[in-house]
Amino acid sequence: MSRQDLYIFHGRLGSGKTTAIQHIRNMDKFKDSVVIENELASENIDQDKLGGRNVYDISGLCVCCSTGNELNDALNKAYNHSEAQPVILETTGAANLVNVLKKILTDSEFNDKYSIASSIFVIGLQPNLDVGEMASEILVSDTVILNKTDLVDEETVKRYSNEIREIKEEVEIVCTQNSEIGLDKLSSESSLNQYLAEAVSENIGEGHQFDRYEVVEGLEFESEKQFKQRFEQVSNRFSIGRMKGVVKLGEENRFVEYSSGKLSLDGEKPVTNKLVVIGDDSIYEAVQEIQKA
């Protein structure tokens, strides 16, 4: 039985994991790769971004705390499908990779089928990040992508890099604005096994900050300006961690994304008008306010 390379992308909500996977799937090595994508919401918007090609979807739960076998079942299906092509696992933004590893590395068939090639931790930069809170994730990473460097100054990027090195000196650090990463920055044999024991000893029981979601369909606004004004009013009142999907603005369906306090809109998208909003216990009320267009 041949072992296949597994690449694991993890990081908080809106850090840029899916965009990074988009980039590497344009490389020859990954053009036929299989992606296992775990989405906390039951509606997986990111499938549109990945083109729906060779994508296994685990939606409506977070595999790091699920009591089921959804992740191991998906890994087995991907192994049978991929025919020696790399397999990419993208965890939810709320997942703790240490808990995910405790599942997959203890599965009786995992080590026969897979070799973990690289663990990639994507961090969406902000001015006041607490790198120490990410220690358990950094310890089980081979590469850390410091993404969205345009949101902070150069000295802040250097400071975060130094703090990461203090946690794991030999980790590869990639600084980028749009999750771009070269093949030379991905390891071929992960150091995960070496650091797993240390990471498990960290405090991993903190839970999810944003673990509620709502799905809104058919949301329409007269203009982009009206939508932005409405969302600003709602985000000032409620804790919204992440928002992603398609909203009709004027005559166009536009892809909308909100993360790390930043709202962005892409061009027209000929896909279903559907929006997923992730937040805390108040998210239902927040969505009701957004719908008062």
One-letter amino acid at 11 equals G
Which residue matches tokens 């959804």?
A: 70
Q: Strands of 14-161 (E only): list them.
A: 34-39, 55-59, 87-90, 114-124, 143-147
Strands 143-147 and 172-175, sheet pairing: parallel
Residue 213: closest CA among 40, 26, 29: 40
pLDDT of residue 215: 75
Ordered domains of the chain (ranges, CATH): 4-200 (3.40.50.300), 212-290 (3.30.1220.10)
pLDDT of residue 201: 46
Spatial contact of 42 and 152, defined as CB atoms under 8 Å apart: no
pLDDT of residue 206: 47
Tokens standing for 212?
């509620």
Angstrom CA distances, 95 to 40, 127, 224, stand at 9, 23, 32
- The Cα 177–Cα 167 span in angstroms is 23
Q: What is the mean pLDDT of each run of 10 residues along the chain (293 residues)?
A: 89 91 91 88 55 77 77 88 83 83 75 89 94 84 96 96 90 94 88 54 48 76 94 91 84 83 76 74 86 75
Strand, helix or coil at 95? coil
pLDDT of residue 43: 56
